[in-house]
Structure 1
Amino acid sequence: MQEAAQLVSKVLVLNDDAEVRGHIKAFCDAHHLIPVKPQAGAALSVLKSNVDLGAIFMQETYTGEGGNALELARAIHAIRPELPIFLRREAASHLDDLPDLYRGIFTAAYTTSTIDELAPLIDKNIFSFQYPNALVRGITEITKTTLETQFKGVEVRTEAPYMVRDRIIYGELFTLIPLESTWCRGYMMLQTEEGPLIKYVEDGRTHISRDPANFRDINHVMGEVTNLIWGAFKNRFISNEPVDWRQSQVPLIVNHEHRYISFGSEDPQLCFRYTLVDPNGEATPLVLYQRFVFNLSWAPEKFKENEVLTEDLFESGELELF
């Protein structure tokens, strides 16, 4: 199997004790987690926002929201039931003595001295999928090149790919396209905000230039970008080997009120974030999130990049006779 990419994941830390936060940060640093904490009283609003998270670390006596920590955990679980919650306790690293009402909310309990015992659960809940480095690097290259060709006068900035477990939709517009191969079956999704994209169309920064622009125009732009990325992904990573099209499917669920989408699987998702920035400062930055959901089949041991034919490189101009 090819070398696996080392990914990261953001986790929300709800803890009042500064000394304990130091222990949690050391654990996070050692296990490729990025700890973030909300302002006092802001935890629920943060969780209702577009923050991509892999898990929550919560103190049993946390008072940051001004109430009972266990009741706060119930509220969090209602908002983001897909996120594992790890409960820090003072003496017991188990959940056996909690009332049934709360016990099922938490993935596990730990104490400051037993935090290292969470490592296998982090691997299981967040990093259960191993992604070949060539795939992760290639996705970034393909997407960055596509965005640079489809948007004029912008610089495309990329961030380190990361793992998420939440199902929150970012912005008002998202596209979805299936991926089918001998080594994966699932979807690629792009998400963005409508307002900045409409402005890009009205300013003539896309292949469509129309003022005023409407939602159909930006639908067309996002559809074209998605199709080009999909085509490049297919050419680079999906071979011509036959795929069994009789395999099972699962329903997708979209809840517009809660900006939520489910692919019928609890598996974590591979996420990329791209920001389109005008070097001259004349346009509002445009943020796009790209997610890969391999919810139907995942066999990274079968993954391989397609060979690039020399003739294709000559035709594209990337090679020329010396």
Structure 2
Amino acid sequence: MSDEMQLVSKVLVLDNSPECFIQIKQFCDQNGLIGLKVTSTNIMAILSAYVDLGAILLSDNYCESQADTLDLAQQIHRARPELPIVLRKTSTSNFDDLPEKQRKLFCATYTIDNMSPLRKVIDEYIFSLVYPNALVRGISELTVSTLENLSTLENRFKHIKVITETPYIVRDRIIFGEVCSLIPLESSWCRGYMMLQTEEGGILDVLGYNELTMNEGPAAFRTVNNILAELTNLLWGAFKTHFIAADDPGPGFASEVPIVINHQHKYISFGSENPHLCFKYILTDENNSHFIPVYQWFAFNLYWSPEDFKEIYASVDDFVDSGELELF
């Protein structure tokens, strides 16, 4: 893996113009965006299938009439208010004549001949936080290593491969799957949470009921909970070892923000408008017959000072002093 890791973000593109879409795709490629073109007419169903978006790009003539386009924007805003909607104005647009309530549905507007407002939105709403390359690269590497090493623990995972996707930024607040874990991260340069999300059924399918319980009967959801808790704890320890020095003084203050979870809507709020750093891993068996998606979020909602981040390079003396390595 290279030292430089380019963060990306997924954006839903609702635009029917083939000519404009070519330019939008070029803009996305040049600015770290993965454009997802929607061809289905059931936009809200498509939207519900994506839980890791950064923004919505909507053309003012996407629907048959401007009224229908505005109605669609209202539906999207109502369902996912955390996602900025950017409107592409056409030459026949009368956006400026709309009531203020409707104009507020959009964080900005742009034209295909002037995409600079879109660039500003990307900087302000998506790539607003700086993440050191060493941190992004290190998190991905240590997580892959931890997932691969998990196969040696109690023989729970056998013949599991780990597939990684490019790290990306999300503004979404929708939780993936049925089970998730949260653990706090605190240091002199950050305060926030690491969150893991996955599907209960996928884990049971890959591992098998007998293997999970050592032939003691069918596994229940508590088995999955225990596995995710074990993985979370291992990753928390690896994060501290690699990125938080033993003599780190800590954040120096103890302010807290409530975390709100709405189970019915699978929604979580960390009390901050900042986007989150996201990693996605796919665990698959040797036959590629089953897949377990694992989403890893980092929400530095309480404190973030990337200029104070330093990667820790452990020496042999450090391991001897800590007792992890013994000379004989």
Same-fold status (TM-score > 0.5): yes
Task: Give secondary structure in 1 for the equivalent of 2:106.
Answer: coil
Q: For 2:236 and 2:304, how far apart are their aligned partners in 1? A: 18
Aligned length: 317
1:159 matched to which residue of 2? 165
2:219 aligned to which of 209, 213, 236: 213
Could you tell me how far 1:242 is from its partner in structure 2?
A: 1.8
2:275 aligned to which of 255, 268, 272: 268
Q: For 1:187 and 1:69, how far apart are their aligned partners in 2? A: 37
Contact 2:190/2:251, CA 8 A, preserved across alignment: no
- Give RMSD over aligned pairs: 2.6
Q: For 1:11 and 1:143, how far apart are their aligned partners in 2? A: 26
Closer, same or farther in 2 for the Cα pair 1:203/1:253, shift >3 Å? same
Could you tell me how far 1:42 is from its partner in structure 2?
A: 2.5
Could you tell me how far 1:61 is from its partner in structure 2?
A: 1.2
* 5+ residue gaps, structure 1: none
Q: For 1:211 and 1:64, how far apart are their aligned partners in 2? A: 57
Contact 2:191/2:251, CA 8 A, preserved across alignment: no
Q: For 2:211 and 2:318, how far apart are their aligned partners in 1? A: 30
Closer, same or farther in 2 for the Cα pair 1:154/1:274, shift >3 Å? same
Contact 2:60/2:66, CA 8 A, preserved across alignment: no
Instruction: Give 1:305-316 correspondences, 5 Å limit.
Output: 305-311=311-317
TM-score (norm 2): 0.89
Instruction: Give 1:210-289 correspondences, 5 Å limit.
Output: 211-239=217-245, 240-244=247-251, 246-281=253-288, 283-289=289-295
Instruction: Give 1:79-94 correspondences, 5 Å limit.
Output: 79-91=79-91
Q: For 1:230 and 1:167, how far apart are their aligned partners in 2? A: 22
Task: Give secondary structure in 2 for the equivalent of 1:68.
Answer: helix
Closer, same or farther in 2 for the Cα pair 1:206/1:160, shift >3 Å? farther
Q: For 1:4 and 1:143, how far apart are their aligned partners in 2? A: 17
Closer, same or farther in 2 for the Cα pair 1:204/1:273, shift >3 Å? farther
1:78 matched to which residue of 2? 78
Structure 2: which amino acid aligns with 1:72?
A: L
- Please, which moves more after superposition, 116-125 or 215-224? 116-125
1:290 matched to which residue of 2? 296
Could you tell me how far 1:64 is from its partner in structure 2?
A: 7.7
Closer, same or farther in 2 for the Cα pair 1:288/1:205, shift >3 Å? farther
Could you tell me how far 1:227 is from its partner in structure 2?
A: 0.2
Could you tell me how far 1:117 is from its partner in structure 2?
A: 3.1
2:153 matched to which residue of 1? none
Residue 192 (structure 2) pairs with residue 177 (structure 1) = no
Closer, same or farther in 2 for the Cα pair 1:123/1:258, shift >3 Å? same
Q: For 1:213 and 1:66, how far apart are their aligned partners in 2? A: 53
TM-score (norm 1): 0.90
Contact 2:8/2:34, CA 8 A, preserved across alignment: yes
Closer, same or farther in 2 for the Cα pair 1:216/1:43, shift >3 Å? same
1:59 matched to which residue of 2? 59
Could you tell me how far 1:251 is from its partner in structure 2?
A: 0.8
Closer, same or farther in 2 for the Cα pair 1:167/1:209, shift >3 Å? farther
Structure 1: which amino acid aligns with 2:253?
A: R
Cα deviation digits, residues 180-231 of structure 1 (max 9, x gap): 0000100000000010112344356669775410011110000000000000
- Please, which moves more after superposition, 112-121 or 77-86? 112-121
- Please, which moves more after superposition, 232-241 or 4-13? 4-13
Could you tell me how far 1:316 is from its partner in structure 2?
A: 6.6
Q: For 2:61 and 2:242, how far apart are their aligned partners in 1? A: 51
Contact 1:95/1:108, CA 8 A, preserved across alignment: no
2:307 matched to which residue of 1? 301
Closer, same or farther in 2 for the Cα pair 1:279/1:67, shift >3 Å? farther
Task: Give secondary structure in 1 for the equivalent of 2:181.
Answer: strand
- Please, which moves more after superposition, 41-50 or 247-256? 41-50
- Please, which moves more after superposition, 307-316 or 154-163? 307-316
Could you tell me how far 1:93 is from its partner in structure 2?
A: 8.8
Q: For 2:32 and 2:82, how far apart are their aligned partners in 1? A: 20
Task: Give secondary structure in 1 for the equivalent of 2:114.
Answer: helix
1:41 matched to which residue of 2? 41
Task: Give secondary structure in 1 for the equivalent of 2:13.
Answer: strand
Structure 2: which amino acid aligns with 1:10?
A: K
Residue 211 (structure 2) pairs with residue 193 (structure 1) = no
Closer, same or farther in 2 for the Cα pair 1:285/1:16, shift >3 Å? same
Closer, same or farther in 2 for the Cα pair 1:112/1:295, shift >3 Å? same
- Please, which moves more after superposition, 210-219 or 294-303? 210-219
